[in-house]
């Protein structure tokens, strides 16, 4: 039951981050810049190290998580371009924001949130010390996940009410994940492959989708600074937890 309690705390952290994003919509270019930096930092400082740890501990072939990373990157690229890009007779491209892309991004975060809760539950199955360490790590970046999830929705013209509903699901997902582990355990190979797929998904969203939108009205020193701040924030969170 203690794993469910920590999963609930992670849900509260996600809600806090999400409502902060909703309240800062007037400075969307800055929050998008921060989000892009945080997503790139999430991949570099959290997801990839977790994959390498799975590979090291479980003798898993690193090729498959990396294949999953490329698949995740290219899949979102294909989805986004299929929805958003239209070629004119002059072979010029016009990009339109579309709610479906925001939903696709939010769905990935929901899946990750579910597995965050599952990670807490599985760690507590090992021992309390491992469970506490993982729970603190999850709570540390659930705030950023809630913040990022709402910004992904808002950036593609979804309404505040729709964004709030997705945020609620993102918040509840880790609790469901913790409950799920009471009945089932994920093999390390499956988790490592999933993390690779999610890393590719987030890398594309951060670098090729959110960051260009943050600068859509022209280059801004403040937006660049917030992008760097987002990456530093994620680095600090991961180092603090691991320390």
Would you tell me how many other CB atoms lie within 10 Å of the CB of residue 170?
28
* Tokens (6 digits) for 109: 């975060």
Check residue 69 and give its pLDDT: 95
8 neighbors 121 (Cβ within 8 angstroms):
no
**Phi and psi angles of residue 170, each rounded to the nearest 5 degrees, phi first:** -60, -40
Residues contacting residue 94 through CB under 8 Å, at least 6 positions apart: 85, 86, 88
DSSP code of residue 27:
G
pLDDT given at position 86? 40
| Residue-by-residue pLDDT tens, the chain, 243 positions | 677 888 888 778 777 777 776 665 566 678 778 878 888 888 898 888 888 888 887 778 899 999 999 998 998 788 767 655 443 433 444 444 555 555 666 676 677 778 778 878 877 776 676 567 667 667 766 666 677 667 666 666 666 677 677 777 777 888 888 888 888 777 878 888 888 888 898 888 788 877 887 777 666 888 899 999 989 988 887 777 655
**CA–CA separation, 197 vs 60, rounded Å?**
15
State the residue for tokens 């918040």.
171
Q: State CA 36 to chain mean position distance.
A: 10
- With CA atoms as reference, report the closest residue to 109 among 29, 168, 182, 162: 168
3-state secondary structure of 94: strand
In angstroms, the CA 26 to CA 143 distance is 20
Helix or strand holding residue 121 (H, E): helix 99-126
**Element (DSSP H or E) covering residue 222:** helix 221-242
Question: Which pLDDT belongs to residue 91?
Answer: 43
Spatial separation of the C-alpha atoms in residues 234 and 195, rounded to whole Å:
17
- Contact criterion met (CB below 8 Å) for 207 and 152: no
């Amino acid at each position: 039951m203690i794993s469910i309690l920590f999963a609930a705390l992670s849900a509260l952290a996600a809600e806090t981050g999400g409502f902060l994003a909703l309240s800062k919509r007037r400075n969307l270019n800055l929050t998008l810049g921060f989000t892009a930096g945080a997503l790139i930092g999430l991949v570099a400082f959290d997801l990839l190290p977790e994959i390498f740890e799975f590979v090291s501990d479980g003798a898993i072939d690193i090729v498959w998580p990396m294949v999953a990373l490329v698949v995740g990157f290219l899949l979102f690229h294909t989805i986004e371009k299929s929805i958003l890009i239209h070629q004119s007779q002059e072979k010029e491209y016009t990009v339109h924001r579309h709610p479906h892309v925001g939903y696709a991004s939010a769905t990935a975060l929901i899946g990750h949130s579910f597995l965050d809760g599952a990670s807490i539950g599985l760690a507590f199955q090992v021992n309390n010390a491992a469970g506490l360490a993982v729970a603190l790590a999850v709570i540390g970046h659930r705030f950023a996940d809630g913040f990022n999830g709402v910004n992904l929705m808002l950036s593609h013209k979804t309404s505040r009410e729709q964004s709030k509903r997705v945020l609620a699901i993102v918040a509840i997902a880790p609790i469901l994940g913790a409950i799920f582990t009471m009945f089932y355990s994920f093999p390390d190979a499956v988790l490592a492959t999933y993390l690779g797929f999610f890393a590719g998904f987030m890398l594309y969203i951060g670098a090729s989708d959110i960051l260009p939108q943050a600068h859509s009205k022209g280059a801004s020193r403040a937006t660049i600074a917030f992008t760097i701040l987002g990456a530093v924030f994620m680095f600090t969170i991961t180092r603090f937890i691991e320390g």
